[in-house]
Amino acid sequence: MAPDSQIVEALNRVGSIVRDKWQLDSLLGSGGMANVYAATHRNGSRAALKILHPGMSTNAAARERFLWEGYVANAVRHDGVVKVIDDDTAEDGSLYLVTELLDGETLEDRRLRFGGRIPEAECLLVSDQLLDVMVAAHAVGIVHRDIKPDNLFLTRAGQVKVLDFGIARLGETPVSKHATMLGTMAGTPAYMAPEQARGLSDEVDAQSDLWSCGATMYCLLSGQTVREGCSDIDQLVNAMTKSAPPLRSVAPDIDAGIACFVDRALEFVKEARWPTAAVMQEALHQVYEQFQGHPITSAPKLALGEGVPDPAPQARPGTGPPPDQRSATPSRSEVPSYRPLERSFTPPTRSVALAVGAAMGLAVAVLSVATVVRLGHRPERAPPMFAVAATVGSTRAPSSPRTPDPLPVPPERSVMDLPVATSMSQERNLPATSPRGSPTEPPAHFPEATRAARPSCKPPYSVDPTTGKKHWKLDCP
């Protein structure tokens, strides 16, 4: 059982987001190596996340063993094995596996819910599915080495799933041997075969798994484990030195045929046990038919029954523990293993758009002024001033729909022909000539009516009462 501090830390992680895609909805279980959560993907699919404890994620051997569980489980290729969908590293460096999400209960929980024992017929049906998985696993050289009620799960659909291939062995690979050396023992003492308890790894094989299957049936039928003891060490010593007590010695009401079947699986000497999972499964079919009076193929489907709540309720968006109770997620820049996702385009905000528009308007105004100044120092003719003003003014909407008064526009008038604004002190010292040295009389090409009717030139401009803009009087010096 996990310590209280570890469970509190695991609960604080509920509601957080892993890798910007998995929201942890609820804590399903906490063990010595990892925590298991029900999670929802950002696309709406659901799965279970088994997250290795942060302290163990820095241990290369622990990481290797953790990943090994996923690879071995998928190698069995049986519906009775939980599929591992993906593996990755969380933001805090914790390694995690993504597996299918199960709905139901473990056989240990079911045994306790039934008062410590389950019915004999149900035990035989459960064991039949377990042995079917063992046949598939042993066929590809995989030895589970930790079969027990806690690692068997009955789904709401009536299917038995074998969990936790973390210490499974696949042949004699270096990885499997390294995983065995990780802890002080590989397996659970109460369900270990004698050769496994003694640490004889070369002798641990498929028959060792069959011994564990018998020990599991023993517990489900009697409510007691084969190895009694006050501690794991006591159970381990008993497993190494003592034979299993007969099933009917602790549960006299058990059918004799069923008890004989279980006792053979628990023989101390390997040669006296069931030789293979297939042979043991065939013998179980015969025991079931003798006990129930009909073949196991016509047996009713296993049912989870009432009173089993959904262990993984889906969290609604925005739910979860308060922010101050959640575990802090480190910044992505602090995590070397962080892999950035593709960035999506974000439209510019309104303030950015206004700033860009203002900058463009200022640039147009500066270019216009620069053009006027440059043309003022060049002798060649320039475009009419009204054309320049119209171009600059088109960058913004007019302030009012007022139509300006018509003005006489000389067909060939240039910017150099227009009056130049001067200060009052300059006006007193100016000769009576135009900026180009010509007499102050209007040019000859002006219409006679304009030459005759000279407006007042003090000031030499008029103010538009509507817009407040100044308009130069063309006939004034």
| Unique residue bearing structure tokens 């990755």 | 88
310 has catalytic annotation? no
CA-wise closest residue to 226 among 240, 206, 246: 246
Helix locations, 14-103, DSSP H: 54-57, 60-76
Q: Give the max Cα distance, the chain.
A: 138
H or E stretch covering 447: none
Backbone angles phi, psi at 129, to 5 degrees: -65, -40
User: Could you say which DSSP state residue 471 is in?
Assistant: E
Helices 277-292 and 256-265, packing angle to 10 deg? 170
Q: Say if residues 58 and 34 touch (Cβ distance below 8 Å).
A: no
**Residue 238, CA distances (Å) to 190, 208, 216, 229, 429 in order:** 9, 16, 17, 8, 124
Q: How many CA atoms lie within 13 A of 382 on its CB side?
A: 20
Q: Which of 25, 132, 146, 475 is catalytic?
A: 146
Angle (nearest 5°) at CA 413 between 408 and 414: 135
Q: Is the peptide bond before 459 cis (omega within 30 degrees of 0)?
A: yes
Residues belonging to the active site: 146
